[in-house]
Amino acid sequence: MSSLLIDNIGELVTNVAGTGEGGKLGIRRDAAILVEEDRVAWLGPARYAPAAARRIDADGAAVLPGFVDSHAHLVFAGDRAAEFAARMAGQPYTGGGIRTTVAATRAASDDTLRGTVRRLRAEALRQGTTTIEVKSGYGLNVADEARSLRIATEVTGETTFLGAHVVPTEYADRPDDYVGLVCGPMLHAAAPYAKWIDVFCERGAFDADHARAILTCGQAAGLGVRLHANQLGPGPGVQLAVELGAASADHCTHLDDADVDALAGSATVATLLPGAEFSTRSPYPDARRLLDARVTVALATDCNPGSSYTSSMPFCVALAVREMGMTPAEAVWAATAGGARALRRDDVGVLAPGARADLMILDAPSHLHLAYRPGVPLIRQVLHNGVPR
């Protein structure tokens, strides 16, 4: 059996609450961690470390669970840099540019799409992301949604069918027919490649009745529910997510008190996506209000060519701390264990015996540096499935 010991760890963030310092971060000092195959086999004080076939000297650095990016749209073609420039010159973001990416995606070859997905997956891994969710949503017909998901399965098991991203142009005057297509032939073709179903529930996309119909069909087909909710304005999305027992309500930018109460009384995670507010120059969600109400909060990138073209979880952590009222510890937890909760996973986002050996060694002595040193490449080395990358 291949074994690897990482020792001389100055700060080991385990996310096992109550086992060390830092509350939920479960921080251990002067620690070591033993990896066997793709799992954590042991962790504890460096002086008790068992022997191993190979060794990495962390040289006093911080070691954390790999980031769990629970919301990304990696399957697309083209980019929308000009739309971004127009926004920075004062244009609002409406989501209307999604149709531009749909046209480019439909016209692209499998190899072009595959190249983009692999490039972005590799980019995210270099920045510490060891688990990533990938959505369809730029195909919006039976063949292109199924194709998008099939390509997504080549890089992750966390795939999400987002056929209900917007109503495509050819169905513009008959949205009910499009919902029928999504619930019928499109779901049938997509389900073999999908673990989750998602809907963009927003004015200009899908209303609560359409979203409920689509998500219920997805549940009947065995898919778990997640939802784009309350991104651009107040709306029914968060309440619907809670009603359906969704794993996550994503964006949560415009919430009223009833939305916060509903989340607080539920098992639905609020996934905040500050890259979207950054890139659309919009007000950030109020993470502090959610945390104070004891809502479970996750952070994710929303990586997509329109509203948030970043694959960087460290960037999202820094934004959450500077702009959303989160402490560095809360943001790091949300970007690791929080993302795992949003995907209903207990084998990632945590470092404990039996967990996946997905971790990162920082070029820094503490998790604090992820927010304290924004924009600096602080990920020295990543282990994914126990393999140094």
As given in the structure block, the two tokens for residue 112 are 């072009």
Q: How far apart are the first and last CA of the chain?
A: 19
As given in the structure block, the two tokens for residue 184 are 């019928």
Which residue in the set 302, 310, 317, 341 belongs to the binding site for ligand NIG (CB under 6 A)?
302
Which residue in the set 231, 301, 311, 336 belongs to the binding site for ligand NIG (CB under 6 A)?
231
Binding residues among 36-55 for ligand NIG as defined by CB under 6 A: none
CA-based diameter of the chain, in Å? 69
Neighbouring residues of 355: CB distance < 8 A, sequence distance ≥ 6: 39, 40, 65, 347, 348
Task: Check the annotation: does 308 bind a ligand.
Answer: no
| Binding-site partner at residue 200 among Fe ion, ligand NIG, none, CB < 5 to 8 Å by type | ligand NIG
As given in the structure block, the two tokens for residue 67 are 């980031």
As given in the structure block, the two tokens for residue 307 are 């509203």
Neighbouring residues of 115: CB distance < 8 A, sequence distance ≥ 6: none
* β partners of residue 361: 63, 381
- Per CB under 6 A, the segment of 24-32, 116-124, 306-314, 359-367 that binds ligand NIG is 306-314
For the window 171-210, what string marks contact with ligand NIG as x by the rule CB under 6 A?
Answer: -----------------------------x----------
As given in the structure block, the two tokens for residue 101 are 């990416």
Task: Check the annotation: does 346 bind a ligand.
Answer: no
Task: Check the annotation: does 137 bind a ligand.
Answer: no
Binding residues among 220-259 for Fe ion as defined by CB under 5 A: none
Q: Does 307 bind ligand NIG (CB under 6 A)?
A: yes
As given in the structure block, the two tokens for residue 69 are 């990016």
- In the block, tokens 């920075």 appear at 88
Q: Does 259 bind ligand NIG (CB under 6 A)?
A: no
The CA distance from 301 to 276, in Å, is 8
Q: Does 228 bind ligand NIG (CB under 6 A)?
A: yes
The CA distance from 279 to 310, in Å, is 9
The CA angle 70-346-335, to the nearest 5 degrees, is 35
Binding residues among 294-313 for Fe ion as defined by CB under 5 A: 302
The CA distance from 95 to 204, in Å, is 8
| Binding-site partner at residue 274 among ligand NIG, Fe ion, none, CB < 5 to 8 Å by type | none
- Per CB under 6 A, the segment of 90-98, 103-111, 236-244, 285-293 that binds ligand NIG is 90-98
Point out which residues bind Fe ion (CB under 5 A).
302
Q: Which residues are annotated as a binding site for 4-imidazolone-5-propanoate?
A: 80, 138, 165, 231, 307
Would you list which residues are annotated within the binding site for N-formimidoyl-L-glutamate? 138, 304, 306
Residue numbers belonging to the annotated binding site for Fe(3+): 71, 73, 228, 302
Give contact residues for ligand NIG (rule: CB under 6 A): 95, 97-98, 101, 200, 228, 231, 276, 302, 304-308
